[in-house]
Structure 1
């Protein structure tokens, strides 16, 4: 038996081809197989290892391509005389792992904040969907179909900076049907999520020292995005009807505004709905003072009462609204497909800016989403999810009333996937969140909603991503984790 055979071991842990490639490389690296040494024929090696000969042929071909082996017609396969560099020599003493940068830069404290990760078994999160309900089988099938059929040079190459046309076309039909828009594919830019869409809008349309407006309690990433753009942040009071448009009007009389960020459908963080009269007045102000409205419609599809109010964008006759949505709140945050809707001229301008930070999105994912939009899978999934989330909202509300009514107050939201929960002032919400986490439950401590003018001692408690049993456990942990101020 050729001695090389005894050096090769086949294990059931990974593919035979990968194992043989790795083992041959290691034998060459360690000098056990030396330059110029002849290897057994593919037929002989296959017979001895009791594997298919074609597997050995592919192993030899791969190693030849990598430079480890050389093949001589009529003579056989040999260890290459010109091997890849096996033992590279360091040209200086290996430094320790670097922590401090060797160059100067200016830190930006406003962008520093912890990254929330799903590290706890139980969670009352910001209002995320339940990935267990996602149409993963259908999406996987659509993804596989797109990656294996059609013109792969086009599919797997560079595409349109605005996003795959098939998705933009299907999305236009869907948004026209469900949100009363009147748009075509040319009015849509596909992005990786609301954060990217908002960043691009600031990059394209907001200049340093521009005045921009947000609700007094608002999406933290929105505020940070405006600060990153160098804009002057104007906080507008909010109440049970969302942003106070009368207060916004007073600001407009005093200074020019470039952009106003709003979440009218389910106000963030309070989940309240901006009423029709405020919506109309906001559009009138935008028309009069010519500012941009960035409408973040992060969970339009999840509304539990009567037919929801249509977006501001559906009544925008002046081309002043940029409408943002995302499938991350419909399917799962891991699927990074969002969209911006606006006038064609603005979308073209945004696409040029998108190209300098992200040439294009995930073509395969975008085509897969287009397929499940076209065949109705996504709409069926959303209807099913809506029913499930409505039931979970009811369960969670009953649990809060039964176990925490002495400590929290809330208004049952008409939509969305979380409840804005106000804690008794005697409760230390930050300490409570820390203790809850130690006990196996994640909740936000609500500190991101605090400001010098306002400390609501409240947070968003998401119910959609937990089933009934998990909601019961979560409320039980939350109750015994309450920390009272001394």
Structure 2
């Protein structure tokens, strides 16, 4: 074995004295790496700290601290009057400094790849950006939540979380159950609810528990890209059902049901994505009757309930009397600052109990502080006050957006004024290439994500969100839209 002094320590122990990581920790990490890579094999005697501190140009006390840490972790052993020795048995094979030196290609890590879960969401740095219908983060009323949060944070210092966590979580579920009953007519107990940190996680847990490979799932087409991805990844066969004026082509669905059973019918009953079509009361009753007759589950995803403008909100399917076959998924997140939103599932206590098993693998503990803040926020009525303020702002933005649509594209488009949500479905009467249209807009500083473009031989359509633009920004947006369309159709 080489003399410890002859080992080229400076070639593999690299210390950056300007880095924020303490030097003694850098030494620890570098020695661990050297041991694991085989550069310092088991049994190697290291130089004394005085000699090594001179070699590495380090303070001796720093090195002593590093060696004590390495010994406590079991990488080295300091034997009085004998020296310091490497103990690690990580590397038994011949040491390899790098694959460049050996000429051998290192084996890649093998893993299962999913093409189905490739995200369609694009990002851009352009100053103006359309989205599918998200709210404007600039007008979220976070001041009241911040005060409640600080107050709860002070109380948290005096709490024992492992004792209070189940108590607070149970109170949180009771609060949400009461809120859903008051605002959506869903008469459920806390035992009927599962709450998660996001709408997406609620949907993922639910599909994981309900779907087996080969199950048939009916969806209204075109549909919500995220749910389609999760269904397909779970191995489901997706059956697209066309839209009609009442939100669902019932005759087409009947033909599908007569051919073979389906496991789930997935829909957005109050605000279909992407078309914003609302399922009529007649269709809701007919769908509930079919679910009993043909024994399938209705998975109602009410992702955007909070934004309704012109009248009382349309109650979801889950609020109807004969809704025992309905599983309701939703969220309260779009009116909240990042980190405060949450998703929920309303169903039978038996299913909720089973779903909680899957959830605990991903979210083993509820967020006590967040739930305490939201309990107070809801019980004090702040949620209703902020919703009322936001509703007025977004209604004004919707009306101005429609005004600009009519002003700039009156004879070139067809659309229905949405009674809820922050997006508008536009079908173009003129024929042009939407991908080229997207590129023309980008040249002038306006980004339109590809997943908002819907084009086939039957239709040219776009779903455009208006909630994140103020009136001045809308003026700029429509100037670009008009000019880009003119460039393509001239």
TM range (shorter): 0.7 to 0.9
Aligned to 1:35: 61
Residues 287 and 318 of structure 1 are in contact (CA less than 8 Å); yes or no, is this contact kept in structure 2? no
Query: Are 2:471 and 1:445 equivalent residues in the alignment?
Result: no
1:306–1:21 CA distance, 2 compared to 1 (3 A):
closer
Which of 140, 143, 161 in structure 2 is aligned with 1:134? 140
1:25–1:151 CA distance, 2 compared to 1 (3 A):
closer
DSSP-derived class of the 2:450 partner: coil
How many Å separate the matches in 2 of 1:464 and 1:109?
A: 32
Once the two structures are superposed, the pairs formed by residues 29-428 of structure 1 within 5 Å of their partners are: 31-35=57-61, 92-94=96-98, 101-103=108-110, 105=112, 107-117=113-123, 119-150=125-156, 154-155=160-161, 159=165, 164-317=169-322, 319-331=324-336, 335-428=340-433
Residues 434 and 460 of structure 2 are in contact (CA less than 8 Å); yes or no, is this contact kept in structure 1? yes
Instruction: After TM superposition, give the deviation of residue 254 of structure 1 in Å.
Output: 2.0
Q: Deviations over 1:267-290 (max 9, x none)?
A: 111112111000111111112222
Residues 163 and 190 of structure 1 are in contact (CA less than 8 Å); yes or no, is this contact kept in structure 2? no
DSSP-derived class of the 1:242 partner: coil
How many Å separate the matches in 2 of 1:312 and 1:352?
A: 27
How many Å separate the matches in 2 of 1:169 and 1:140?
A: 23
DSSP-derived class of the 2:479 partner: helix
DSSP-derived class of the 2:425 partner: strand
Query: Are 2:479 and 1:476 equivalent residues in the alignment?
Result: yes
Instruction: After TM superposition, give the deviation of residue 313 of structure 1 in Å.
Output: 0.4
Instruction: After TM superposition, give the deviation of residue 122 of structure 1 in Å.
Output: 1.5
Q: Deviations over 1:133-163 (max 9, x none)?
A: 2121222222333333147664379955x99
The structure 1 segments of at least 4 consecutive aligned residues displaced by more than 6 Å after TM superposition are 23-30
Instruction: After TM superposition, give the deviation of residue 94 of structure 1 in Å.
Output: 4.6
Question: RMSD of the TM alignment (CA)?
Answer: 3.8
Residues 449 and 455 of structure 1 are in contact (CA less than 8 Å); yes or no, is this contact kept in structure 2? no
Q: Deviations over 1:248-306 (max 9, x none)?
A: 22322221111111111111111121110001111111122221111111121211122
Residues 168 and 372 of structure 2 are in contact (CA less than 8 Å); yes or no, is this contact kept in structure 1? no
1:100–1:317 CA distance, 2 compared to 1 (3 A):
farther
Residues 429 and 446 of structure 1 are in contact (CA less than 8 Å); yes or no, is this contact kept in structure 2? no
Instruction: After TM superposition, give the deviation of residue 320 of structure 1 in Å.
Output: 1.4
Q: Which runs of 5+ in 2 are unaligned?
A: 1-18, 28-52, 71-82, 85-90
1:356–1:477 CA distance, 2 compared to 1 (3 A):
same
1:243–1:318 CA distance, 2 compared to 1 (3 A):
closer
1:192–1:150 CA distance, 2 compared to 1 (3 A):
closer
Instruction: After TM superposition, give the deviation of residue 26 of structure 1 in Å.
Output: 8.8
Q: Deviations over 1:317-371 (max 9, x none)?
A: 4521111111233335664411111111111111111123332454332332222
Which of 465, 469, 477 in structure 1 is aligned with 2:468? 465
DSSP-derived class of the 2:482 partner: helix
1:339–1:398 CA distance, 2 compared to 1 (3 A):
same
Q: Deviations over 1:49-100 (max 9, x none)?
A: xxxxxxxxxxxxxx99x969xxxxxxxxxxxx99xxxxxx99633569x999
DSSP-derived class of the 1:299 partner: coil
How many Å separate the matches in 1 of 2:352 and 2:246?
A: 31
1:312–1:235 CA distance, 2 compared to 1 (3 A):
same
Residues 446 and 459 of structure 1 are in contact (CA less than 8 Å); yes or no, is this contact kept in structure 2? no
1:322–1:362 CA distance, 2 compared to 1 (3 A):
same
1:223–1:21 CA distance, 2 compared to 1 (3 A):
closer
1:409–1:24 CA distance, 2 compared to 1 (3 A):
same
How many Å separate the matches in 2 of 1:376 and 1:116?
A: 37
1:32–1:172 CA distance, 2 compared to 1 (3 A):
same
Normalised TM-score (structure 2): 0.76
Q: Which runs of 5+ in 1 are unaligned?
A: 1-18, 39-62, 69-80, 83-88
1:448–1:93 CA distance, 2 compared to 1 (3 A):
farther
Instruction: After TM superposition, give the deviation of residue 130 of structure 1 in Å.
Output: 1.1
How many Å separate the matches in 2 of 1:141 and 1:91?
A: 58
Instruction: After TM superposition, give the deviation of residue 407 of structure 1 in Å.
Output: 3.6
How many Å separate the matches in 1 of 2:333 and 2:62?
A: 56
DSSP-derived class of the 1:230 partner: coil
DSSP-derived class of the 2:369 partner: helix
DSSP-derived class of the 1:390 partner: helix
Instruction: After TM superposition, give the deviation of residue 116 of structure 1 in Å.
Output: 3.4
How many Å separate the matches in 1 of 2:107 and 2:164?
A: 37
Instruction: After TM superposition, give the deviation of residue 178 of structure 1 in Å.
Output: 0.8
Aligned length: 427
